[in-house]
Amino acid sequence: MPKAFVQNGRYKLDQWIVFPGSTDDDYIKQYIELVLTMSWSFFVNANRK
């Protein structure tokens, strides 16, 4: 799962993953969309507080 944090007064997101060679492109695209959606949700909600 991605790690969201504040560094030097700025919101940051860190994500590392190694996909097996047999992973198809559709799965990788869906995973990227999931991470981006979760990240956006974090930043939107963090800005409200």
Backbone phi, psi, residue 40, to 5°: -60, -45
Containing structural domain, residue 21? 3-48
* pLDDT of 1: 67
**Nearest of 46, 48, 34, 32 to residue 4 by alpha carbon:** 46
Q: Is the pTM of this model over 0.85?
A: no
Find out whether 7 and 19 touch, Cβ atoms under 8 Å. no
pLDDT digits 0-9 by tens, 1-35: 677 778 898 878 788 888 888 999 999 999 889 88
> How many domains would you assign to the chain?
1
Is residue 1 helix, strand or coil?
A: coil
